[in-house]
Amino acid sequence: MTDNHEHPYIPKLKQQLNDRKIDRRDFLRTATLLGMSATAAYAFAGKVAGGGMVAPAAAQAALPKGGTLRIGMRVHEIKEPQAVSWTEASNIIRPVAEYLSYTGHDNVTKPYLLEKWEASEDLKTWTLHLRKNVTWRNGKKFVADHAIWNIRRVLDPKTGSSVLGLMKGYMLTEFETGEKDDKGNPKKSTKLWDSRAIEKVDDNTFRLNCQTAQLAVPEHFFHYPFFMLDPEENGAFKPGFSGTGAFVLESHEVGRRAVFKARKDYWGTGPYLDSIEYIDLGNDNSAWIAALASKQIDGLYEVDINQIDAIKALPHVAIYPATTSQTGVARVRPDTKPFGDKRVRLAMRLATDAQAVVDTVFRGSATVGEHHHVAPIHPEYAKLPPMKRDVAKAKQLLADAGFPNGIDAEIGAKVQPAWEVAAVQVMVEQWKEAGIRVKINTMPAQNYWDNWTKMPFGFTSWAHRPLGVMTLGLAYRTGVPWNESGYSNKEFDELLSKAEGILDVDKRREVTKRLEEILQEDGTIVQPLWRVVNTAYDKKVLGFKMHPTQYIFPEQLAVKT
Amino acid sequence: MGRLIVRRLFYLVVTMLLASVALFLLFELSPEAVVVNELGPYSTQEQRQIWLEQNGFNRPPHERYLAWLSRFAVGDLGHSRLFNVPVAQILATRLGNTAILAAFFFAALIPLSLSLGALAGMKEGSWLDRVISFICVLTASVPPFASTVLLSAILVFSLALLPGTSSMMDGFSYRELIMPVAVLVLYDFGYVARMTRASMAEVMMTPYVRTALLKGLPYRRVILSHALRNALIAPFTVIMLHVNWLVSGVIVVEFFFAFKGFGSLVLEASLAKDLHLLEACTMTTVVIAVCTQLAADIGYMFLNPRIRFK
């Protein structure tokens, strides 16, 4: 690569790959992140580390054209595409609207509507180059003004987008609106931290000037509601709405189905299908399986672990698993009794047998959690010595903390999905042996999310994220909105900021290792497992790979004729 | 009879009012739930506030209730948040679907249960009676949530004879109706047949039937023109009350077979906390309950001339 704008770190990265200090995946991830084009990065990785890793576009060239695909999935109401709160809803938008970046099935983030990006050495300035051949449905070109309009829109609190929470730290600043709320406290709102935070360079280029270093900007572009919508339509969602994607929404009936027809002038590879339909079969899992069995649908959004056996019995269906960084954590708030003492929290971890939870709840098909919320599939994951169950030590710690007779507590848990309560039940039984007597308070998901950050003790599910530092920054940094346990540790915060500014995966891993240790030692969570998500498709469906986020990319799919 | 109808209608309005207030109050218990449902768990407090304001949730509850009630009273059922269409529209579609299901259900249930019940009741204690009663008790004791699984395991998964769900995506389909109707009939015919049997057996013991038989009338004619009419009074009431049961009892079946009817609508509306839709569903249920009761009373009067309502 002889690009003048090459990030100064890229040559070093190449060297590391040459010396086999990093593996292909880490190389691809970081190199593409720093703006090396995906083709170039894959080519370089292939040359050095040997073949096997073909760039995704080339692998799919041989798919047959035509046909209709029906996928069973909830069809939700969508009022505001950039504020959808469930992955299912985003799957209804994705055939039409696209993202600036694309995190592949291999956890490598590549440019998508962007052609490439460049990050400054301090990771505060991101220069983003758009592809020049992308068009909206009416033939108009996709330009920098459109992208900027979309970014401003998701960062506007009125839009209600969850991207705001993600980018707040490096793009926004809080200010007082001058109004007072019911309790007389001044109302706060957010705005861009600087008038030049988003800066247009030319028609195809713009720049993000961040207030703090941020490693995961491209990953954030792939957040599920971060769609590029047509400013001309002011982001409306309706049949025929404009987008850059491979399909056109033909009809959308909430609770029934959504139908898409292929677009002929799509800029990218595909689509292969003539049309794709999402069919809503209600909330009952057995209906989904029955529909798949009788070939009323060709694929499912997700298959529950309890139904795997039923699916396996269907000869025309294949199961697709994906290892994810989706998880659930039993977390406590240190500002409530008796969880203020870190010995109590450690005792809870020591009283837990994560393997047993995995075996009981997921019949072994999940990855054992290590109580620090960095997943083995994360690039900066550092393997720590396994944390073995030690009931005697847990009891000792409790006694030291002033609870020789153990403690009593109540844990909040959602009734759905079912695995969460099951996991909690297994852990509660394990804790009992160490004298930690916990009552389970189950509640509907809505009620849980109503006060998930306030509950003294609760079991919270966390979505998949491609980087370990992303979750740590969202959930455990002092004072951030999603820090549900109210965790505050100065050393942790400083190390985390440091890690977020380190590009070198090896160096970042060293810091992450310490972060993981802090969480194991002092943290607020018991984390039993990492989920494996499964889905099932008819064997006639080609090109399908389960994405860890459960996003569906219909332009990659085809049916055997 | 006029007074009876007026009195019933009065009760209907009172019940509807009470039910609507109760429902409204339940929702007031957790106002945040609506917005969390709408914007998702990861929305910030500020975003939620803005949404609540934009959607008029900041007005006092009694004001919102009265506004809703005054619109409802003149036939404006409001807008469904969940489906983003007028409530009247989705309600009509779903009620229509359930009506189709109900029509096929009754078309299968009535002949089956009445004939089996009458056959069993003709000669109490005969082997035919024993066999029919056994089958009735057996099927009636398997609840729908079990028989759905059982039936689809056999007919859909093992034999692949029938479609597994009944969402009618390609338009109306008789084949897709078979499973839900079968489950409902299987669960219900035993009960109605047993009622018919008891009623029939009772009639067969009455002096006039004995007299008819002793007079030498053909057995067939005694049954068809003398016994049966009187024996049908009790099952008629039971069947009318089944319309009620059907409206809420189909939830399991509709849910399992992804049938887009009234039952699944109620379930979805309550899960999504769609207040307008749920209020309309509740009102519909109340209207159906009161009307079927009224119809049962009036029909009863015609079947049994001894009964006169004052």
Complex prediction ipTM: 0.74
Instruction: Give CA–CA dist B223/B303, Å, rounded.
Output: 17
Q: Report pLDDT for A319.
A: 92
Q: Of B233, B248, B263, at which residue does a domain stop?
A: B263
* One domain for residues B241 and B159: yes
Q: Cα-flanking dihedrals φ and ψ of residue A438, to 5°?
A: -120, 135
| In-domain check, residue B62 | yes
* One domain for residues B21 and B152: no
Q: What is the CATH number of the domain that holds B107?
A: 1.10.3720.10
* One domain for residues B109 and B238: yes
* One domain for residues B192 and B69: no
Q: Report pLDDT for B221.
A: 87
Residues in chain B within 8 Å Cβ distance of A165:
42, 44
* One domain for residues B161 and B245: yes
Mean pLDDT within A260-273: 90
Q: Using one digit for the tens of pLDDT, what is the confidence trace for A145-156?
A: 999 999 999 998
Instruction: Give CA–CA dist A352/A528, Å, rounded.
Output: 8
Q: Report pLDDT for A95.
A: 94
The domain defined by A323-533 carries CATH number 3.10.105.10: yes
Low-confidence winner among A34-43, A486-495, A504-513 (lowest mean pLDDT) = A34-43
A55: confidence class by pLDDT, cuts 50, 70, 90: very low
Q: Are residues A296 and B47, on separate chains, in Cβ contact within 8 Å? A: no
Q: Cα-flanking dihedrals φ and ψ of residue B29, to 5°?
A: -60, -35
| In-domain check, residue B287 | no
Residues in chain B within 8 Å Cβ distance of A254:
82-85
Tell me how many domains chain B contains. 2
| In-domain check, residue B193 | yes
Residue A30 predicted with pLDDT over 80? no
The total of other beta-carbon atoms located within 10 Å of residue B305's CB is 7
Q: Report pLDDT for A14.
A: 77
| In-domain check, residue B109 | yes
Q: Report pLDDT for A3.
A: 44
| In-domain check, residue B33 | yes
Residue A52 predicted with pLDDT over 50? no
| In-domain check, residue B49 | yes
Q: Please name the residue of chain B whose CA is at the shortest distance from the CA of residue A278.
A: B169
* Chain B contact present for A480, CB below 8 A: no
Beta bridge partners, A191, equal A173
* One domain for residues B129 and B181: yes
Q: Of B221, B247, B263, at which residue does a domain stop?
A: B263
Range of the domain at B143: 91-263
Q: Report pLDDT for A427.
A: 95
* One domain for residues B250 and B131: yes
Q: Report pLDDT for A318.
A: 93
* Chain A contacts in chain B segment 51-80 (CB below 8 A): 51
Nearest to B83 among A189, A255, A282 (CB): A255
Residue A164 predicted with pLDDT over 90? no
Tell which of B30, B34, B43, B53 to mutate to test the A interface (max A CBs under 10 Å): B43
* One domain for residues B40 and B161: no
Residue A19 predicted with pLDDT over 80? no
* Chain B contact present for A154, CB below 8 A: no
Residues in chain B: 310
Residues in chain A within 8 Å Cβ distance of B85:
254
Mean pLDDT within A421-450: 88
| In-domain check, residue B288 | no
| In-domain check, residue B304 | no
Q: Report pLDDT for B29.
A: 64
* One domain for residues B165 and B247: yes
Instruction: Give CA–CA dist A320/A536, Å, rounded.
Output: 6
Task: Please identify, in words, the CATH class of the domain defined by A97-237.
Answer: alpha beta
Q: Please name the residue of chain A whose CA is at the shortest distance from the CA of residue B58.
A: A182
A273: confidence class by pLDDT, cuts 50, 70, 90: very high
- What distance in Å separates residue B300's CA from the closest CA in chain A? 39
Q: Are residues A77 and B81, on separate chains, in Cβ contact within 8 Å? A: yes
Residue B97's Cβ-side half-sphere holds a number of Cα atoms within 13 Å equal to 26
Mean pLDDT over all residues of chain A? 86
Residue A1 predicted with pLDDT over 50? no
Q: Using one digit for the tens of pLDDT, what is the confidence trace for A183-229?
A: 677 777 788 888 888 999 999 999 999 988 888 888 899 988 999 99
* Domain residue limits, chain A: 1-56, 60-75+87-94+245-316+539-561, 97-237, 323-533
Q: Report pLDDT for A559.
A: 92
The total of other beta-carbon atoms located within 10 Å of residue A418's CB is 14
Beta bridge partners, A262, equal A247
* One domain for residues B149 and B243: yes
Instruction: Give CA–CA dist B154/B160, Å, rounded.
Output: 8
> Which CATH number, 3.30.70.100, 3.40.190.10, 3.30.565.10, 3.30.470.20, labels domain A60-75+87-94+245-316+539-561?
3.40.190.10
* One domain for residues B139 and B245: yes
Q: Of B25, B53, B76, at which residue does a domain stop?
A: B76
Residues in chain A within 8 Å Cβ distance of B271:
283
If you ran DSSP here, which 8-state letter would residue A504 be given?
-
Instruction: Give CA–CA dist A370/A348, Å, rounded.
Output: 13
Mean pLDDT within A294-308: 88
> In which residue ranges of chain B is pLDDT below 50?
310
Cβ contact A325:A510 at 8 Å: no
Burial class (CB in 10 A: 0-12, 13-18, 19+), B257: buried
CA separation, residue A491 to residues A479, A515, B105, B220 (Å): 14, 9, 68, 95
Q: Using one digit for the tens of pLDDT, what is the confidence trace for A99-123?
A: 999 988 877 788 999 998 888 888 8
* One domain for residues B108 and B244: yes
A53: confidence class by pLDDT, cuts 50, 70, 90: very low
Q: Using one digit for the tens of pLDDT, what is the confidence trace for B36-62?
A: 666 665 566 777 778 777 777 777 778
